[in-house]
Amino acid sequence: MAELWVDKLSFARGDFKLRIDQLQIRPGEKVAILGENGSGKSTLLQLLCGLLPCGGEIRYDNRPLAQIPVVQRARLFSLLPQFSELIFPFSVAEVVLFGRFPHAIGNSFSDADRQLSEQQLQQLDLLPLRERQFNELSGGEKRRVMLARVLNQQAPIIYLDEPNASLDIRHTLEIFELLGGRRETVIAPVHDINLAEQFFDRFLLLKQGRLLADVSHAHLTPELLTETYDVQVTGGTAAFTFTRR
Amino acid sequence: MKKLLLIIFLLTLIAACLVGSTAINPFAASPVERDILFSLRLPRVLFSAVIGAMLGLSGSVYQLTLKNPLADSFTTGAASSSALGAVLAIAFGLPVALVPVAALATGLVGLLTVYRLSKTNGVINPVTMILAGVVMNIVASSVISFAKYFFEDSLSSIVFWLMGGFFVVDWGKLLLCAAVLLIAYLLFAAKALQLNMLALDEYSAQSLGVNVDRLRSLAFVVATALVAVAVSYTGIIGFVGLIVPHVARSLFGSDMQQNLSYSALLGALLLVVADAVSRTIIPGGAELPVGIITALLGGIFFLYLLQTRRERLWHG
Amino acid sequence: MFRLLAALLLLLLPVASFAAQRVIILAPAAADIIEQLGAGPLVVGKTRNVLEFPQATQVGSHIRPNLEIITSLRPNLLIISSNRFFSKEMATSVAAEVFHYQPNTLEEILTQTLALGEKLGREEQARKLVAEQRRKLQQLQPLAESPRVLYEITEAPLTIAGGGHILADIIRRAGGELVSGSQRRMLRFNPEAVLSLQPDIYLWQVGPMNQRPTPAAQRGQYRLLKADFRQVDQLQYSRANSKSFDNTLELNSYFRERK
């Protein structure tokens, strides 16, 4: 279990500035990051993962991120970036096994690692694709493989940049339910607000690099969303409602 | 599969020792023939294997760490910056023994230049690195052209040197290169799993616990050092570093735990065969520069691969 | 009246029979013979590695002659070795007669000496020079056994002279035999083939092409080569000119005195 603390985080790249004064995320929370394109959702994830230089302080379990060696970070949190490609062909099974890298001893994976990978493949409905080349898969299939890799890392905090991008509705529901049922912290920018509302319990609303609001379910109001996205938002029933069979 | 390949490799080594300007029957060799076999031909065959392995290994690592299927000793500027030193040494008439030393020196200078140029905000950028390498290549080539133009008396020496070949090999040079190869191989093999992670995008690799920048720097420096040493002794032997890793990948998969050894092995095999051809194709002891043969063999094979198995080669 | 007649007579004569007055040497090998013919004062241009004729203007190198300088010197005779570096197009643009000097044998040196003498109006000197060279050739003494000779042009990469090189004829006339197995002028060679050819004499040249070679006898790969090693001067040996005959004599006596 890991707790995340953010204090006076600041980052600038060209005209874009991101600043978050205070943020604390407790173990097991499911946090959706909402905001328009370019509001800093992905940047925030990258900052929290220590992938970009920044001001202020990020702490995991009271330990400053800067002092945690890269190898140990991989046991604290995992990351699914928005786009992932492989330059050379690897099979689906190999890619999912990559997720066990932080746990590999020496230069090889243990049998336990392989077993866990198999379970992960099964859980994400990937066994039929097991021997396929990753690069030959469809966009949604690739996404699921990468998600399996990230979950396989078994880190207490999971960062997912738009986890349901290019996933069909059935797989989206499956994955969000799967994530909702796990003990890990999940922090994910999500574009589909209705889905976010359905599966997450805390919402960070970003606008132009600033944390507009940090609210729970009850306070995610149409007014707040109107301010976040600059569109008129009204509550009501959707044309279709989806649940898993 | 690996066993079969090793057997093929050993048979090729033996065959390469027996062919040449004079065919030698190992069971009825005259003293001169025995001397040719053991003090010239055997070291040369082994040397070509070592150099081939060095080039194959460096190509395999370059392509993965620079995230570019076309990365090799040319695109990273390593080959031409090393060649520059050798060409200048020949042009200025330094003693022959100093030619490799000069090549190694400029090769290392080229390495540091490209490395420095490709660091932005303390982080290595693979695209910048390829660009810096290509620029390095252009600069070195222009100086080489100038040397060819200005030092006309050395023109044929320079041109022949640039075409690549195993000039005079002795056991000392062989041992030195074998040691360099062994160290580099062990270093890469110990990091094979980490190198695999570099096939992913940078952020994924980093979040899996790989210090991408440090690994990339190490891989670049060691691979370039391999090329610099190889080029300093043999001139420019193209295409081995580019093609061999692709062939290894398409035959045995992309896993670096396999690819490192197969790239080295196939590189060695290719160069042993190419050198045997270069020694025998013209009757009467004349020699064809080996770079011509590797480029031809490799290029044809690469065309075949591109035509038939492109999607299995890389994702671009 | 007489002057007019003479002028008319001159105009009637074919141009070729005029002795050239302004000569440019683009074939360095020819320089020595032109000097021997006493035609030095006619030379207005030369390539940069011709050391004779200090009064002549440099016109670039024999590989890259400078057409502008050549044209500005208004030559009426260009001496070139081949059209490789001085194309026919370049020659026509200069509007001068072109003489090809590239002898491959001692005999050809003599015929080309005579032809040059004619072009330069030095027929008498040419005949004398040829007679002198023939006398040198008559001093050659036969050898009991013909040594097999290898001639190294550059050490690294190893290149040797082939049958098309002037050295092949010089060595043959001196009583030896150039081993190479090729009719090219120079060829890249395999060090182990040197061992298997077993030459009796290994000549290695030192000069601009082979600036600081390792002394051949000290090279590890020739440890078992039972050949006599002899260093020669590139500029002396590799050009086909009047010195070629002295070299032939010198090699002949070296072959004879060799144990």
Give the C-alpha separation, C194 to C200, whole Å. 11
Residue B163 lies in a domain: yes
C158 in reach of chain B (CB within 8 A):
yes
Nearest to A104 among B193, B206, B313 (CB): B193
Strand boundaries in chain A, DSSP class E? 4-13, 16-25, 30-34, 55-60, 63-64, 77-80, 157-160, 185-189, 202-207, 210-216
DSSP state of B40: I
Give the C-alpha separation, B83 to B104, whole Å. 9
Mutate to test the interface with B, among A76, A86, A88, A117 (most CBs of B within 10 A): A88
Residue B204 lies in a domain: yes
CB burial string C171-203: b at 16+ within 10 A, e below: bbbbbbebbbbbeebbbbbbbbbbbbbebbbbb
Nearest to C196 among B36, B94, B282 (CB): B36
Residues 26-55 of C with CB under 8 A from B: 49
Residue C8 lies in a domain: no
Cβ contact B20–C208 (<8 Å): no
pLDDT band at C259 (very low <50, low <70, confident <90, very high): low
What are the structure tokens assigned to B25, written together? 């029957």
Instruction: Give C159's contacts in chain B (Cβ within 8 Å).
Output: 156-157, 160
Number of neighbours of residue B232 by Cβ within 10 angstroms: 23
Are C213 and C163 in the same domain?
A: yes
Are C215 and C125 in the same domain?
A: no
C-alpha angle A52/A53/A57, rounded to 5°? 110
For residues C91-109, average pLDDT = 90
What is the extent of the structural domain holding C50? 23-137
Give the C-alpha separation, B283 to C153, whole Å. 20
pLDDT band at B170 (very low <50, low <70, confident <90, very high): confident
Residues 64-83 of A with CB under 8 A from B: 70-75, 77-81, 83
Indicate the domain borders of chain A: 4-243
Residue C2 lies in a domain: no
Residue C8 has pLDDT above 60, yes or no: no
pLDDT of residue C16: 46
C219 in reach of chain B (CB within 8 A):
yes
Pairing between β-strand A202-207 and β-strand A210-216 as defined by DSSP bridges: antiparallel
Are C183 and C103 in the same domain?
A: no
C221 in reach of chain B (CB within 8 A):
yes
pLDDT of residue C85: 82
Q: Are B78 and B133 in contact (CB under 8 A)?
A: yes
pLDDT of residue A57: 94
Cβ contact B207–A133 (<8 Å): no
Residue C250 lies in a domain: yes
Are C247 and C160 in the same domain?
A: yes
Give the C-alpha separation, B303 to C2, whole Å. 80
Q: Closest-CA residue in chain A for B70?
A: A87
Q: Closest-CA residue in chain A for B196?
A: A98
Residue B167 has pLDDT above 90, yes or no: no
Are C191 and C171 in the same domain?
A: yes
Number of neighbours of residue B248 by Cβ within 10 angstroms: 25
Give the C-alpha separation, B305 to B311, whole Å. 10
pLDDT in tens, A16-38: 999 999 999 999 999 999 999 99
ipTM: 0.91
Residue C99 lies in a domain: yes
Cβ contact B314–A87 (<8 Å): yes
What residues of B are in the A interface, CB distance below 8 Å? 63-64, 67-69, 121, 189-194, 196-197, 199-201, 203-204, 206-211, 249, 253-255, 257, 311-315
Residue C12 lies in a domain: no
Listed as ranges, residues in chain A with pLDDT below 50 are none
Instruction: Give C153's contacts in chain B (Cβ within 8 Å).
Output: 156
Q: Are C198 and C148 in contact (CB under 8 A)?
A: yes
Are C40 and C111 in the same domain?
A: yes
DSSP state of B37: I
DSSP state of B38: I
Could you give the number of structural domains in chain C?
2
Mutate to test the interface with A, among B64, B186, B207, B256 (most CBs of A within 10 A): B207
Asked whether at least 3 C-beta pairs link B and A within 8 Å, the reply is: yes
Residue B36 lies in a domain: no
Q: Return the sign of the alpha-carbon dihedral for residues C125, C130, C135, C139.
A: positive
Instruction: Give C224's contacts in chain B (Cβ within 8 Å).
Output: 31-32, 35, 39
- Min CA distance, B148 vs chain C (Å)? 11
Mutate to test the interface with A, among B121, B187, B201, B203 (most CBs of A within 10 A): B203
Question: Higher model confidence: residue C6 or residue A213?
Answer: A213
Residue B26 lies in a domain: no
What is the extent of the structural domain holding B291? 56-315
Q: Closest-CA residue in chain C for B30?
A: C196
- Min CA distance, B267 vs chain C (Å)? 23
Query: What CATH number is attached to the domain comprising B113?
Result: 1.10.3470.10
Query: What CATH number is attached to the domain comprising C157?
Result: 3.40.50.1980
Taking the model in full, what pTM does it have? 0.84
pLDDT band at C14 (very low <50, low <70, confident <90, very high): very low
Residue B51 lies in a domain: no
A107 in reach of chain B (CB within 8 A):
yes
Could you give the number of structural domains in chain B?
1
- Min CA distance, B105 vs chain A (Å)? 33
CATH superfamily to which A4-243 belongs: P-loop containing nucleotide triphosphate hydrolases (3.40.50.300)
pLDDT in tens, B113-152: 988 888 877 677 888 888 999 999 999 999 999 998 888 8
Residue B93 lies in a domain: yes
C191 in reach of chain B (CB within 8 A):
yes
H or E stretch including C98? Answer: strand C97-100
Are C122 and C174 in the same domain?
A: no
Give the C-alpha separation, B44 to B173, whole Å. 10
Instruction: Give B200's contacts in chain A (Cβ within 8 Å).
Output: 84, 86, 98
pLDDT in tens, C215-254: 999 888 888 788 999 999 998 888 899 999 999 999 999 9
